[in-house]
Structure 1
């Protein structure tokens, strides 16, 4: 009997030690709370992004959208880019389709700046992180949604730089020496804030420098090369040698204006000055050849990179406070002296 009890006691001790050994190998973990505070990473692979462009046949936005697509796909996103055909109603449908498809994020170049409030309300209701590009809403409109950011450039700066390009000429734009600079303005879409600010600040740079100005004509050209040519041709026919400076809100219109200037037998930088904005390849070639006084680099690639960076921040949980939702990329003046630095 004693031998049996001793054997039973020994077996119980062995089982007890084995159980203790298992506990030491796999000690219990107390919750740290870290799981609740970790920020989810952006869906770098398998994430879907919808990109809405106001119209594909805009030269600058072609450069911009190609850069966006290349950057996003290089990071592993599935990207769908759609053409709004300059039709806000069509773009609204495209945005709603992307929302229905469940995209992770949206990058939108609005057809109309005035539609921004509607767009913002739509993406806010869907809870989709959104980056607006190229056409800037008001701060009050953007403040309605904290998962929204605008990426672009300060259009006032581009206008100022255009004016400074004229001020940097030997006669500050006063070719005929009558004490004032007589100009025509070929404007983009006046509903677009960029067009408004470029128009205003290009001339303001001259008046702030004490230069007297005379506006001979201002005509809407809708960012279009053919319209730029037609407008400039008509103005040259009407005002002739009175025109000393041709301001264009973008390079496409400036290249059209150049065709009209050359057809009229005028010579840029000798008897007329011509400036644009965007630094398109075609414009850079004309600056280098002496056929444009200068242009202003609107860096599409830098803006595309910044837009993607902001989008990924939003996907990672970043939010933007009211008044801090605009992220700007600087413009750069391009002249015959530095144009080679910007050519491919």
Structure 2
């Protein structure tokens, strides 16, 4: 089966299972979309998925970009809620103050679809994301296997306390726990999930731990930076894993620039968010969580994902 077919089949199955047929977009004219950081390819792809699918359904989308600042996002959402939106799709800019926009929207009687990151103590009406824990487990299991189940390991985390950071840590720690020959010697958190951070963090950690053989970086940007740091250090045989399946990273992965990632269904997540917003606005109740599978991607199959990527 072609990868794209498999991806959309999974999304279609998730969407079909949510509620009875017959709900149309007719009752929804405008959706608010608050994104944490559009400079990140992953979030931009979700935005494109939301906007393209909403356009097909004749729905206007008002998008705001917090640039990773929680205070900015709260202000943006306050403004969004004055613009007669029928539903609110929300990607929190961070763990701090993440619950505020959800509460504001609910107080205004506007349904909330949380995407990628949930808000502690104030979840939306449904939460859509990749199954981060399972996918991170698969990536870490793979890169540990490439190292024959032994060696010193580093973990470069995403933004501390965010849902994907917590879940990806959980999944990778499970894989580490299954391999007593692996020693997690150091870990450090990033703020922006960026390539520059991945480079700086990994350079510092490699100086302190020059015998490291395995690195799990919790986003492809971080992984590209980690791979760059390994190259600069002159270390050999270091196996780097990432996460996301970014459009910029997949071609590099296909050429062997790093070892593995988990490719997320970014456009599919966007489509499912719109469908969920429509259903919630129509008064339907959805599952608390809608988790879509990620796909383990290596140099051997990355070219297919590059070709199939929207």
Q: Same fold (TM over 0.5)?
A: yes
Tell me whether 1:252 sits opposite 2:221 in the alignment: yes
Deviations 1:28-68 (A, max 9, x none): xxxxxxxxxxx9853368x1111100122122111211221
What is the CA distance between 1:230 and its match in structure 2? Answer: 0.7
Alignment length (residue pairs): 285
Which of 151, 172, 184 is the matching residue for 1:215? 184
Which of 136, 139, 152 is the matching residue for 1:159? 136
What is the CA distance between 1:109 and its match in structure 2? Answer: 0.6
> Within 5 Å, which residues of 2 pair with 1:268-283?
271-283=237-249
What is the CA distance between 1:340 and its match in structure 2? Answer: 2.1
Separation in 2, partners of 1:262, 1:57: 26
> Within 5 Å, which residues of 2 pair with 1:55-94?
55-94=37-76
SS class of match (2:245): coil
TM, length-normalised to structure 2: 0.85
TM, length-normalised to structure 1: 0.77
Which of 66, 70, 94 is the matching residue for 1:112? 94
What is the CA distance between 1:126 and its match in structure 2? Answer: 0.7
Which residue of structure 2 lines up, in the alignment, with residue 133 of structure 1?
115
RMSD of aligned Cα (Å)? 2.0
Deviations 1:271-301 (A, max 9, x none): 1100000011232122211121110112211
Separation in 2, partners of 1:89, 1:291: 37
Separation in 2, partners of 1:205, 1:40: 42
Separation in 2, partners of 1:251, 1:104: 34
Separation in 2, partners of 1:215, 1:156: 18
Separation in 1, partners of 2:235, 2:147: 18
Separation in 1, partners of 2:67, 2:303: 34
Which of 273, 289, 295 is the matching residue for 1:326? 289
Which ranges in structure 1 are unaligned for 5 or more consecutive residues?
1-38, 175-180
Separation in 2, partners of 1:220, 1:332: 24
Which ranges in structure 2 are unaligned for 5 or more consecutive residues?
1-21
Tell me whether 1:169 sits opposite 2:151 in the alignment: no
CA contact (8 A) 2:27 2:282 kept: no
Which of 153, 170, 192 is the matching residue for 2:162? 192
